[in-house]
Structure formats: structure tokens, C-alpha cells
Structure 1
Amino acid sequence: MADVAGPSDAELTPKQRMAERMRRLRELHSRRTEAQQLNHKEVVEEDRRQSQPKNWERRQQWAERKLEEAEQRELAQKQGEDFDRKRNLDISAEDAAKWERRKRKHHNPDPGFSNYEASTARQYDRLVKQVKPDMEAYEAKKEAMGDAFYAGPGAIVHGHHKDTKEAIDRLAEDVNKQIEKRAKFSRRRIHDDEADIDYINERNMKFNKKLERFYGQYTQEIKQNLERGTAV
């Protein structure tokens, strides 16, 4: 707000000079109030940004893109067009390669242990990938065994096949590797028979240990009262 030029103080009467000073004082007060409001607005905005997650703006942009994509997909369906094909035409090869690298980076090929059945299936798939079939030996064995090679119901295959020494050695080597790996990387803890049993399975036991580690010092007195039977 620019100051308005007025007569000099020498040309003003005492009453006019007082009025001019009061006008300037009100103007300064108005500027101070405006600055306080702007400062308060910035403080509130900064506090809002700090209280939000770090990736809040990125999530908002992602949600807006998804909403826009849904609208474009719906419009393409109404027009009888293939939205995915139309979208891929607008994507450059460089962006497509970058997204593919990012997808491979976030993909975890090892989902971890879920149950023993899934673990056995994963081990079987891993062993199958390591197999290098000898097609010549396969064809020779197939010709020698005849119909017994693909045994049907009631077929007797005992005595038709004999494992080679190389196959037996390969099996023994793989078993020894599994034993070494299990002994080295096993995370199973030694069971303590004297410890209190306050869990229903191994997963619940680990969860209870986490609770004890973080909140044990706050719940120790309550637990002791419950054990003594003196809890209120």
C-alpha cells in the first residue's frame, strides 16, 4: 500500500497534524494485522504439511491420475475404443523401460516361509530348474523299456530302472547342501521347557515377545497382581 502524498507538516494546523499521524498509525496497524494474518496462515499450512505422511503429495497425485484414468477408460468404452492400446501408443520406449525396471525392482521372488507344503513346492520347483536332462539317455531308456516306460494301471516297473552312480552322488550332494544351509540360516529358537506358555502357536509366541519387549516394563505390576490374584 503506497503512501498518499499530502501537504507538509509546516502547512498543517496542530489538529490536522494529529489527524495525519493517526491516519499513518492506523495504516501501520492495518499492515501489521495483515502481516500477522499471512504469518498465521503460513504457520497453519506448514503444520498441516508436517502432520501429513511424507509421501502425501505423491499419493494425492497418484489418486488424481487413477481418477483421471478411470474417467478416460469409461469414455473409451463408450466410444468403443481399446483404452489400454490407446494409452500404450502415448508411452515412449524410455518410459516403458523405466517402469519395467521399477516393477522388477519391487518384485520379491522369495515370498518367505508360509507353511511346509508351500516350502516343499518351492524346493521342488527349484530342483526342477536345476535339472539338465540328457535327451540321448532318455530316448535310449524309452526304447529299452518299451510300454513299461509310461506305466499304466497294474504295470510292474520294478527292476526296469537302476539309478546311476552319478545320479546318486548328485542327490547326496544336494541333500548335504540343504543340511548345511538349514544349519546356517535357520531362525528357529531353542525351546525352553521351563518358560511360561502364554501362546497358542509359534506366530503368537513371537507377537507376545514383541509386546513384552515394548510394553513389558509398563505391564509388569499388572501381570504380577494377576498372578497373585490381587488385581482390582
Structure 2
Amino acid sequence: MPPRKRKTAAAARAEAAAAEIEKTQAEEAPAPVDAATEPLDTKMDDDASQTQQAAAESSIPSEAGAASNSKPEPSAELEPTDTAAAATSSSSTTSSKPETTSKPTPTTSAADRMARFRALQARAKSSSDQNLAEATKETQRLASDPSALTALNRRRDIAAHKLLKADTEDAGGDFERKRAWDWTVEESERWDKRLKKKGARRDDNAFQDYRAESSKVYKRQVREMAAGSSENMARYEKDKMAAIEKAAASGGLDIVETDDGELIAVDKDGTFYSTADSTGFVENRPDRAAVDRLVADMKKAEEARLRKRRERMAQNGDDGDVTYINEKNKQFNQKLNRFYNKYTAEIRDSFERGTMI
């Protein structure tokens, strides 16, 4: 068994100092104050402090004499240590207090966040599916030919008409009578009038003379103008009102109201209404839409003229390249083609491709 160590005097003094410090801290620690009894305890403490102050004032001379005969206690030397320990304990209490009182709490639970996430996922998926379906429909619409769809619908209507007519005749009924039940008298008269005009135009399609041809062209242009007549008349009325207001503001035109309430424009100096010597029409500037419409009409007339020319040449056998300069040269070339075309076809094709140069 190893020898037991002896406790030195220094160790004994250190233990005594530590025990004294712990005892002092225990005595100086404040007791917990109840919120309900705080006013009563405060009043009692005030009374006790007044009593202690009176006793201390009466015992000052005796304590001064006793202090001169007694030795200083070591607790005075340990006062800085006690103050530091008290500051440390108070700071630790202060720092630990917010942690216990202001603990963060989540506003939403994990289940709620997961439900919101699932809802957002479902919404994104539905939006993606809808966009894909719309894109597919747009692709199919662009891939389909409108003219082919129109022809298909026309053939379907013709087939349905023939089937209905066959079923009605097999049943022993009058097809035209049954068909007329679906139309009013006004609609039937308009349809008959339209068919009559169409037949007349078909019979009058052949060329008679230049006067009749010009009349047909004029009527066709009038029909085309009637399609956009409402827009043209609205623009005309707007321009006319602007011109009248401008002339009235300048003093060259008076607006007079008759007895029945009709407004009449009176030209005082004869400058508003056009005459044979007027040149105000040269200042007119048509809008861009009217110019574009005129250009489209001219292109359409040129295409029709070229189409008619090709049809006439095809009827005469001249639908190929023009290789003649007059009628006699044309006949000579046709005679050569009849005898030598089968021998010169390869050479002419090579010249067109540029491989015989």
C-alpha cells in the first residue's frame, strides 16, 4: 500500500478560501420574488432597511473602536473575485434567459408544406399537358390544307344529298317537295334568282364584241366594290364632313337650316363645289390601303390576261416556246418538227442544260 500524502498548509488555506467564497456567494444570491407578493415584500424590505440604518448610525463609534483593535479579515482581499464571479453568473443568467423565452416556432408544419408542394406539382403538370395539347392541335391545323378540307366537305355534302334523294325516291316521295320544307319562300326565291343569274353569265361568257366585254368587266368590278362598300362609304362621309368643316371655318361655306330642320351648305364664293375648271382633285392623296387594293386589282387583271393568252395558244398548238417570227416561219418550223424532232430531241435538251457548249 503506497504511503499516504500529508496535507500541506498551503492546500489547507486554499480549501478554506474556496469554502468561504462558496458560502459568501450563497448568502449574496437573491431569493426568487413572487409576482403576487412583490408589493408586500418590497414594503417589508423598506421598513427593515430603515431600522438597520438607524441601528447603524447609533453603533458607528463602537464599531470604530472595535475596528482599531481587531485584525482585518481576509474576505476584503477576496472582494474582486466575488464581484467577478457575480458578474459572470449574472451575465450567464442574462444570456441564457432569451434562449428559453424566444424559442423559434415554425409557422407551418411539414405536412402543410408537403401538401402545397404536391399542389404546385399537379398544377405544373396540368399546365404542361394543356400546352402540349394546344401545340399538337396547332401543328395539325397548319399541316392540313384548307383547300383539301373544303373539297372534302363539298364531297361529303354531295354524298349526303344523293343519299337523301335515293331514300326519298325509294319511299315513293317527292324529293324536291320534301327539300323545300327546309326553306322559306324568300330564301327559295333568292336561290332561284341566283341560279338564273349564274346560268346567264355562263351562257354570256363567249366573246361578242368589245363593248359587251367592257360591260362585263365593269359589272364585275362594281360587284367587287360592293363587298367593301360600307367601309368605303364610311371613309367618304368622314372626308366629306372634314372638308365641310374646313370650308365653314374659312368662311367660304355657310350652313343654313331650313324650316323642316334640313341643313344645306351654301357656297358663297364658288370655291367649294368642283366645276369643269377645278383642279383641286390633284391634291387628293389616297391612303396606303387604297393604293395596295389598286395594285392587287392590276396584278389580278394581268394574270387573267396571261392565262387567257396561254389558253388560246394551247388551242392552236402553240403552248411551247415561241420559235418563229411570223406565220410563214411558224408553219415551216412545224414542218421541221414533224420530221426531225425525234432526232434532235437529245441535242436540244443538252443545249437547254448547257452541257453542249
> Shared fold by TM > 0.5?
no
Q: Which has the higher contact order (CA 8 A, sep 6+)?
A: 2
Larger Rg: 2
TM-score norm. by structure 1 comes to 0.39
- Give the structure-2-normalised TM-score: 0.27
